[in-house]
Amino acid sequence: MKPAAMLARGSITMQLCASNLTIARGGRTIVANLSFALCAGECLALTGPNGAGKSTLLRALAGLLPLAAGTISLSPLSEEFVPQQAHYVGHADGLKGLLTVTENLEFFAAILDVGMGGLPVKTALGKLGLAHAAKLPVAYLSAGQKRRVALARLLAVRRPIWLLDEPLTALDTASRVLLGQIMTEHLTQGGLIVAATHAGLDLKGQELRLRAAG
């Protein structure tokens, strides 16, 4: 059985651990000797000033940046490569403007799905209030709508770890409430969330405040 399917059925309890992480970019150390442990059902809110390394840490957890030192592990699935179990949603939405909302999400579902399951595209869009825009080219959408399309991939393909960089960016009050409900549901089902944020996230878990180097 795939890990995410096991997670959904409550048959395992995951823990994401980082030990003595050091991450450098352009010859400059951004994150040094950082450790944390996050259990299933918890959110780790990354806070701190611009340049403190929040986005850098998320990208390293997603496997997009190499570690200068330290380890990242997922237990009891230590044989699983962490990025294979994670969704990463960064500052850029990564959408194709000429494709419709549905086509963009179908594309993401096709390339990301490795048998873990997820909601049908139509259902995922509906949960994020995008059913009315399903056939529109993404280029016609507002910034907030584009952000919600990008976030809809979290539902269209099930993965236990969500790595979110400023997930509330461009969202209005109603959309923030909606996303908060979706994130809470993910945690209730045993998922884990690591989110960089300047806004408060009213979610169960921990806060890790990073400080700018130097």
Measured in residues, the chain has a length of 214
- Listing DSSP states for 18-69 in one string gives EEEEEEEETTEEEEEEEEEEEETT-EEEEE-STTSSHHHHHHHHTTSS--SE
Q: Do the strands 15-25 and 69-75 form a parallel or antiparallel pair, or are they unpaired?
A: antiparallel
CB–CB of 108/153 below 8 Å?
A: yes
Residue 5: its pLDDT value, please? Answer: 45
Structure tokens of 187?
């945690």
CB–CB of 4/158 below 8 Å?
A: yes
Give 114-143 pLDDT, tens digit per residue: 656 799 999 999 999 999 999 999 999 999
- Give the C-alpha separation, 131 to 95, whole Å: 17
Model confidence at 2: pLDDT above 90: no
Give 159-181 pLDDT, tens digit per residue: 999 999 999 999 999 999 999 99
Model confidence at 3: pLDDT above 60: no
Quickly state the pLDDT bin for 150 (edges 50, 70, 90): very high
Which string of b and e fits 130-141 if b means at least 16 CB within 10 Å?
beebbeeebeeb
pLDDT greater at residue 10 or residue 57: 57
DSSP code of 169?
Answer: T
Residue with tokens 């651990």: 17
- Give the C-alpha separation, 141 to 152, whole Å: 15
Identify the three-state secondary structure at position 137.
Answer: strand
CB–CB of 156/119 below 8 Å?
A: yes
Q: Is the peptide bond before 83 cis (omega within 30 degrees of 0)?
A: no
The structure's pTM equals 0.91
